[in-house]
Structure 1
Amino acid sequence: MSGTTRTVDVRRAGDRAVTAWPGIESRHAFSFGHHHEPGNTHHGLLLAHNEDRIAPGAGYDTHAHRDTEIVTWVLAGALAHADSEGHAGELRPGSVQRVSAGRGIEHSERHAVTDTADPAAAGLHLVQMWLLPDSPGAAPDHEQRDLCAALACGDLVVAASGMARDDGGPGVRLGIASAALHVGRPPAGRVLDLPDAEYLHVHLARGAAELTVADGPVALRAGDAARLRAAGRPTLTATTDAELLVWEMHEGLGG
């Protein structure tokens, strides 16, 4: 569309930078680690959006974080988490975890399954997202919620939010007053109204869908993402059974 400024920037799954360690493949939406992309450092408040596949017995040994809100969503398998604040447990599909690193925390994240008879032993597939908190230097914190029942409706569910409107909702609390993560598992044919926000980040984790914005439709496949800016209230139609993660952000870095 010559002469028209699009409100959506589509990033295809195969175009993401990849980091590989033994038993781990991590695909990065933004500049990350040694993959330095000066023009691709963030979108809105979102600093990292990594899609990881982790083999049985593999994972991330104990490492440190500071002043980061870390939100993790498991698509398949089971993630074992343990941190220096005494939190330990497993995260499986349908549950969301928020780790607030605050003034400093150490944690490990590994494939949780050692019993090869467990269906989750085939492989761990997750998306992990990082954002900066509103108030640095806070005490580290951890929260995890099971959203399976809420997701059964096929609509978007608030998985993590710092917005006052979401107090008491099904998701975990986020240390950012202007951001929320929505997760949905729409069946084929379902049309979802996406939030109206200055910044949206839509990641299609499974299936196929069509994203409709004011300047036309965009086809998305598993692993694709769309970055939207001041796009009004777009819609997404699942063309197959799908799973998606949508970040709603009402400001960007620097306000």
Structure 2
Amino acid sequence: MVTVDVRRADARGALESAPGVTSLHSFSFGAHLDPGNTHHGLLLAHHEDRIAPGAGYDDHPHRDTEIVTWVLDGTLAHDDDAGRSARVVPGTVQRLSAGRGVTHRERNASDDEPLHLVQMWLVPDEAGVDPVHETVDVSAALRGGGLVPAAGRGAAVGLGIADAVLHVARPPAGHRLDLPAAPYLHVFVARGEVELDGHDLAAGDAARVVEAPATIALSLDAHTDAEVLVWEMHSDLAPTGGD
């Protein structure tokens, strides 16, 4: 049996994560406490940020976290304590595997244009590994309108998780996407309007799909030109304890 749990854009938790940064969180995160909504599959955090010109996150540490960033508008400047730097623009996927520890800063690289991005966190399979930073431009592959593996096994950038792949697509109006078969899917509409399993989804909406076996094909229909992020996940986070 397939279940599709639709989460509307306005149900997310809104936080001012830093001066000039507004974040909309899909899961319990920081000051947005939602104990019954901690993850879906292997996805631990999913936030949509709007960052004012020149604003962003100053130096802050991460450890044993897989962080995937997708820019929708503007330019993200990434710099870390290992001397790695990048400018991430629309069509480019960034992966930061924090491993045994990394300190980095993320800022809007522009003094006059806003920055709009989606960032997603997952727990890696192995702790304490060497940090990894990668960026790859997948914009050419997106022109076909189909799903493009952006992060994970067989994708543009790697991921320290065997059971998760991020697919990105920019389907034009009238285009149908066949979604991957997996026990857990997370479908986020970044732009436009689509339909999934009879549910109309608009920008900022998400669908959490559970138990999508290979015998049942789920598809997504774009009502307008759209941009979607689809996590394909083949396992769930282990229970953290409790009764």
Shift of 1:130: 0.3
Q: Are residues 1:195 and 2:180 paired? A: yes
Pick the aligned partner of 1:31 from 25, 28, 32.
Answer: 28
Q: Which moved more, 1:13-22 or 1:203-212?
A: 13-22
Q: Are residues 1:104 and 2:101 paired? A: yes
Question: Residue in 1 aligned with 2:201?
Answer: 220
- For residues 71 and 7 of structure 1, what CA distance do their matches in structure 2 show? 26
Shift of 1:89: 1.6
Q: Secondary structure at the match of 2:86?
A: strand
**Which structure 2 residues correspond to residues 91-240 of structure 1 after superposition, within 5 A?**
91-114=88-111, 116=112, 121=113, 123-161=114-152, 163=153, 166=154, 169=155, 171-212=156-197, 217-232=198-213, 233-240=217-224
Q: Secondary structure at the match of 2:182?
A: coil
Question: Is contact 1:8–1:231 with CA below 8 Å preserved after alignment?
Answer: no
Question: Is contact 1:85–1:140 with CA below 8 Å preserved after alignment?
Answer: no
Shift of 1:85: 1.4
Shift of 1:74: 0.1
Equivalent residue pairs, number: 235
- For residues 17 and 6 of structure 1, what CA distance do their matches in structure 2 show? 27
Question: Residue in 1 aligned with 2:59?
Answer: 62
Q: Secondary structure at the match of 1:14?
A: helix
CA RMSD in angstroms, aligned pairs only: 1.2
Amino acid at match of 2:83: G
Q: Are residues 1:18 and 2:14 paired? A: yes
Question: Residue in 2 aligned with 1:41?
Answer: 38
Q: Secondary structure at the match of 1:149?
A: helix
Shift of 1:86: 1.1
Amino acid at match of 2:170: R
Question: Residue in 2 aligned with 1:248?
Answer: 232
Shift of 1:34: 1.3
Q: Secondary structure at the match of 2:212?
A: coil
Shift of 1:6: 6.4
Question: Is contact 1:70–1:100 with CA below 8 Å preserved after alignment?
Answer: yes
Runs (4+) of structure 1 moved beyond 6 Å? Answer: none
Identity of aligned residues (%): 61
Per-residue CA deviation, residues 35-93 of structure 1 (Å, 9 max, x unaligned), is: 11111000000000000000101100000000000000000000000011111120000
Q: Which moved more, 1:38-47 or 1:231-240?
A: 231-240
Normalised to the residue count of structure 1, the TM-score between the two structures is 0.90
- For residues 141 and 83 of structure 1, what CA distance do their matches in structure 2 show? 11
Normalised to the residue count of structure 2, the TM-score between the two structures is 0.94
- For residues 34 and 242 of structure 1, what CA distance do their matches in structure 2 show? 31
- For residues 160 and 181 of structure 1, what CA distance do their matches in structure 2 show? 5
Q: Which runs of 5+ in 1 are unaligned?
A: none
Per-residue CA deviation, residues 139-164 of structure 1 (Å, 9 max, x unaligned), is: 11101100010000000000001x3x
